[in-house]
A and B are shown apart, each in its own frame.
Chain A
Amino acid sequence: MKEVTLTIKNESGLHARPASLLAEKAQKYNSRLTILHSDGIVDAKSVVSILCGGISNGAEIKLIADGIDETAALEGVAAFILSLDE
Chain B
Amino acid sequence: MFNITGSCGSEGFTSGYAVVKKNPVPTVEKYPVADPEAEILRFRDAQARYDGELSRLCQASGLHKAEVEILQAYRVILHDEVFFAQALQLIQEDRLNAEYAILKTQQATEALFKKLDDAYLQERLTDIQNVCTAFIRTLQQVEEDFAERIAGTDEAIIVAEDLTPEETIKLDKKKLRGFILERGGVTSHVVILARLLGIPAVIGVRDATSLIPPGSHLLMNAEAGKVYVSPDERTLDTFAGQMQAAQKLKNERDTDAKKIALTRDGICVPVLVNAGSMESITAFDPLCCDGIGLLRTEFLYMGRDGYPDEEAQFQAYKLAAEVTAGKLLIIRTLDIGSDKQLQYMQLPPEDNPALGYRAIRVCLDRNEMFQAQLKAILRASVYGKVKIMFPMITTLEELRQAKAQLEAAKADLDAANIRYNPALEVGIMIETPAAVMLSDRLARECDFFSVGSNDLIQYTMAADRTNIKVNYLYNECNVSVLRMIHLVAQNAGNAKIPWGICGEVAANELLIPLWLAWSVSELSVSPSRIGQVKHIIHGCSVEALRQQADDVLSCATSAEVKERLAGLPWKKEYI
Contact = CB atoms under 8 A, between A and B. Distances in A.
Interface of A: 7, 9-10, 12, 15-17, 19-20, 23-24, 27, 43, 45-49, 51-52, 54, 57-58, 82-85
Interface of B: 69, 72-73, 76-77, 79-83, 109, 112-113, 116, 118, 120-121, 123-124, 128, 277, 302-305, 341, 343
9 contacts: A9-B303, A20-B73, A20-B76, A23-B80, A46-B80, A47-B83, A48-B109, A49-B83, A52-B112
Given A49-B82, A52-B109, A10 B120 contact: no
Nearest to B343: A7
Contacts of B113: 51-52
A12 to B, nearest CB: 7
A38 B109 CA distance: 20
A20 B109 CA distance: 17
Nearest to B74: A20
A1 B379 CA distance: 45
Contact of B303 (A10, A47, A54, A58): A10
A19 B121 CA distance: 11
Contacts of B124: 15-16, 19, 51
A52 B120 CA distance: 12
Contacts, number: 67
A9 B77 CA distance: 24
B116 A20 contact: no
Given A23-B80, A52-B116, 7 more contacts: A45-B81, A47-B76, A47-B77, A48-B83, A48-B109, A52-B109, A83-B303
A48 B69 CA distance: 17
Contact of A20 (B72, B81, B302, B304): B72
A19 B77 CA distance: 10
Contacts of A12: 120
A46 B83 contact: yes
A24 B305 contact: no
Contacts of B120: 12, 15-16
Nearest to B69: A17
Contacts of A47: 73, 76-77, 80, 83
Nearest to A45: B82
Nearest to A16: B124
Nearest to B113: A52
A23 B73 CA distance: 10
Contacts of B81: 45-46
Contacts of B304: 82
Given A12-B120, A23-B76, A48 B303 contact: no
Contacts of A27: 79
A7 B128 CA distance: 27
B67 to A, nearest CB: 13
B82 A48 contact: yes
B341 A57 contact: yes
A54 B123 CA distance: 13
Contacts of B302: 9
A57 B304 CA distance: 14
A85 B76 contact: no
A48 B305 contact: no
Contact of A24 (B76, B118, B277, B303): B76
A24 B77 CA distance: 10
A12 B77 CA distance: 19
Contacts of A58: 341
A7 B118 CA distance: 20
B82 A43 contact: yes
Determine which residue in A24, A51, A52, A82 has the highest number of CB atoms from chain B within 10 A of its CB, and name it.
A51
B529 to A, nearest CB: 22
Contacts of A17: 69, 73
A-B residue pairs, 10 tightest by C-beta: A46-B82, A48-B83, A20-B73, A20-B76, A58-B341, A9-B303, A46-B80, A43-B82, A47-B76, A54-B116
A50 B76 CA distance: 12
